[in-house]
C-alpha cells in the first residue's frame, strides 16, 4: 500500500508540473504571437528596422530563457526548428530584407502555434 501511495504522489507531482508548465507556456506563446503579429511584422513591413530589430532581439532573449524550461516538456526537434527560424529572422531583419524577414517571421509565428498545439494536453495528442 505504501508503494501505491508513493506512486500516486509521484504521478500527481508530474501531472501538476505539466499543468503549471502548460499554463505558463500558453501565456508565453500567446504573448510571442501577439508581439510578432502586432509589432515586429508591422515594423518590418513599414521598414522600421531599428524598432523591428530591438523588439525581435527582446523576443529572442525571452525565447532562450523560455526554452530552458520547455526542454523538459516539449519536443527537442520542434524547439530546434524554432531556434533556426529565430536565427534566420534575426539576420534577415539585420540585412533589412523585407520579403525574407516578413516570411520568416510569419513562419516563426506558425511554428510557435504548432509547438503549443502539439504539446497541449488534449485527447487528440494523447491518443
Is 8 contained in some domain? no
Task: Provide the grid cell at 85.
Answer: 527560424
Is 41 contained in some domain? yes
Looking at the predicted structure, is the pLDDT value of residue 86 above 90? yes
Is 6 contained in some domain? no
Count CA within 13 A, CB hemisphere, residue 62.
Answer: 15
Give the range among 41-50, 90-99, 116-125 with minimum mean pLDDT: 116-125
The mean pLDDT of 59-87, rounded to a whole number, is 91
Range of the domain at 29: 21-126
Number of domains in the chain: 1
Q: What is the pLDDT of residue 2?
A: 87
Report the share of the chain in percent with pLDDT over 90: 66
The mean pLDDT of 60-85, rounded to a whole number, is 91
Is 2 contained in some domain? no
Report the share of the chain in percent with pLDDT over 70: 94
CATH number at residue 73: 1.20.120
Is 3 contained in some domain? no
Q: What is the mean pLDDT of the chain?
A: 90
Is 16 contained in some domain? no
Q: Which pTM value belongs to this model?
A: 0.82
CA-based end-to-end distance of the chain:
30
User: Is 29 within 8 Å of 117 (Cβ atoms)?
Assistant: no
Round to whole Å and give the CA distance between 97 and 51. 14
Is 54 contained in some domain? yes
Is 12 contained in some domain? no
Amino acid at each position: 500500500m505504501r508503494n501505491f501511495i508513493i506512486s500516486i504522489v509521484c504521478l500527481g507531482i508530474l501531472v501538476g508540473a505539466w499543468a503549471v508548465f502548460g499554463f505558463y507556456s500558453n501565456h508565453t506563446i500567446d504573448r510571442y504571437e501577439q508581439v510578432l503579429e502586432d509589432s515586429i511584422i508591422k515594423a518590418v513591413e513599414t521598414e522600421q528596422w531599428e524598432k523591428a530589430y530591438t523588439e525581435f532581439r527582446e523576443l529572442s532573449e525571452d525565447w532562450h530563457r523560455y526554452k530552458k524550461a520547455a526542454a523538459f516538456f516539449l519536443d527537442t526537434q520542434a524547439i530546434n526548428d524554432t531556434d533556426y527560424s529565430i536565427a534566420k529572422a534575426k539576420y534577415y531583419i539585420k540585412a533589412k530584407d523585407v520579403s525574407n524577414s516578413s516570411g520568416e517571421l510569419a513562419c516563426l509565428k506558425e511554428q510557435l502555434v504548432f509547438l503549443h498545439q502539439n504539446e497541449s494536453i488534449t485527447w487528440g495528442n494523447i491518443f
